[in-house]
Structure 1
Amino acid sequence: MTVTGPDVVTLRPEPDDIREAVRYAIKSGVPYTYNRMDKDAWRRVARIARGKVNESLIRRFAESLGIRAGTQDKSYRQHDAFDFTFQGKRGQVGADVKTFHVLTQFIEAPRSPFSFDSLLSGVDHSMAQWHLFFPMLVPQDYRKHKEVYVFAVSVEAKPDRSAKPVLAYPWAAFPDSAAERPLVDPDAIKAREAAGDGLRVTLEWPAGMPGAGNAVYERGGQARQKALPFADAAQLSDAGFASFLAIQLDDAAKDHLYRSGQAMTLTAQDGDQPAVTSQYDARRFREVFPRQDFALHLVGWIGRDEFERIARPLPDGAPCYFYPPRLDAQDSHAPGTKTANRYVLPGVLKPIATLTEV
């Protein structure tokens, strides 16, 4: 039995899924996540938040099938791969979830918005219609194989700033310059904690700042947060921070910075080291999770042995729907796939609802 359109399962997150994912992403994303894609801090945090939301959705779906997903309870400071294991017909099974992400706002012709018909079009690597080619990819140099591959596609709509945010503080800015690096360097954090010393941090904002804000930092080996008293003061000072992770704002505060052209100022003193002073204007604040229309489509699964038998090579740089070519000289994205992969087409996968048959 192979996948057809009705077999694809669409899942959408609950507000609590999003809140918990963003909390986790902020405290783990900048200091403790390897920057394998050489992305700036907010992009790393955004990627982690989407991954954590997807984990929650997949775990809940597995439980609806009677599968209890086994995951490892790790500190946010440790590498956090999604270890999805369950009890199959032949005993304990490890599943490797491969998710491809589609940003609707960047879809341009000849690509069309994601649809199940396009997903199951059957267009292969040898055909010219790259925009209808949906390869289910596994890197050729991948070394952490499990018994089963599960493939999914997450899709988020074009941002709608008029939509009500799920998060109390939808906007976040992170220490992301070379000068700010000591604030989030994991070795420096450990040294401060071992010595019992910490950062002294002062955060200033324009007088009369509306709305609400939040500071995220570490102290005593834990991530903590502190509300910023915009209505009562123009600054907040504290000491004993092991790190300073993020500033968060609600819509009113972010809009005020944008309209006024003003900035918040962060000053951090680490012992007798020179103070680090940074400006946080509106441009530094980004949303790390969409306000509406985030969906995860569970396409299907395939056993590793069968994948190894039928998968075809896809060369580094080959275009497909997920990794389009560069269509004109002004495109700034890197064209095509980034590494050499092997792939199968979605139509050969087994329906996700049959995962219990492994």
Structure 2
Amino acid sequence: MNPSHLLGPVLVLGSGLLGASIGLGLRAHGIDVIVSDPSPSAQAVAVDIGAGRAFDAAEYLTPELVVVAAPPDVTAQVVAGALARYPSAVVVDIASVKGSVLAELQTVESLAPTALGRYVGTHPMAGRERSGPVAARGQLFNSMPWVLCPSEASSEHAIKVAHSLAIDLDAVVFRFAPDEHDEAVALVSHLPQIMSSLVASRLADTPQHALSLAGNGLRDVTRIAASDPSLWVQILGANAPKVLEIMQGVRTDLDRLINTLSAPTAPGARLDLAQLIAEGNAGQGRIPGKHGGPAQQYSWLTVLVDDKPGQIALLLTEIGEIGVNVEDLRLDHSAGLQVGMVELSVLPSRRVALVDELTVRGWKVLQ
């Protein structure tokens, strides 16, 4: 058992995916965790999986930390209640929008003037396609960003406790101002969700034979379109001003593209299309590389494998024997044959040698 930075007890208000995962992660450090949820069944499941012990309203609690893992539209209300009920505790929330929560808290007249000194807004950038406590994992936050968004009122002690929570869950800590955080996630999280949903919505009435041509490109773009609509209604509503500003820029680009495609052979049209794609290349190239390091360009190759157990493991084992590190991996399947297509990215300087060696070993590599 690794030593903990928190002393506990920790009260987690909300036993969904994130709340239950926080409980599991802290319990692995031996911290006393109490789980509370408005849904008795959700709370019971969280307790059953080991995320903590059940909240008892009759128990006198003096938690070191209260983690509010409530839906975004009631987060501020639950935070205010926790600050009032546990006057010695630090209170953090994990909602994905920070500015609106802080603004609402600043209007709560019943809070003591010093109460906001014990509050720190945070946002763990982690999740799964599945929801609820049954999907919880104690390692959910391992090596994932956890953003601390203290306000001007947040005390150094409160910030330290919030930081300890993230460290105990093996997350990577970042610090943003609330408004700066909301602007950043509007671009890197909320915009991709919107664009993915818009693209996927075009598929609703598409003939099935047309969808049979779909490859990794469509799957990559639409993967997050399967997200929970009720949650995203709350997130987008809470961060509407920041999202709207970005979407207006997207609309300008779409209008430009529509005008160009309306006359694709007009003078300058092809140049404009090329510039639009090149602008995307430039933006994509700025996305950080592995482990948050500088952006790195890799070379891709595709290897055909039989669609049967053990083939991908065998391929990766042989690549390891060759001494080449796989930087990224994607898997697709042939629409008509029982073969898989493993797309691998490697450093450009190692691509030719890897292709040659895999070919010698009997693998079919698509150039």
- TM-score, normalised to structure 2, is 0.21
Structure (1 or 2) with the greater helix fraction:
2
**Which is bigger in relative contact order (C-alpha 8 A, separation at least 6)?**
1
Structure with greater Cα Rg: 2
Structure (1 or 2) with the greater strand fraction:
1
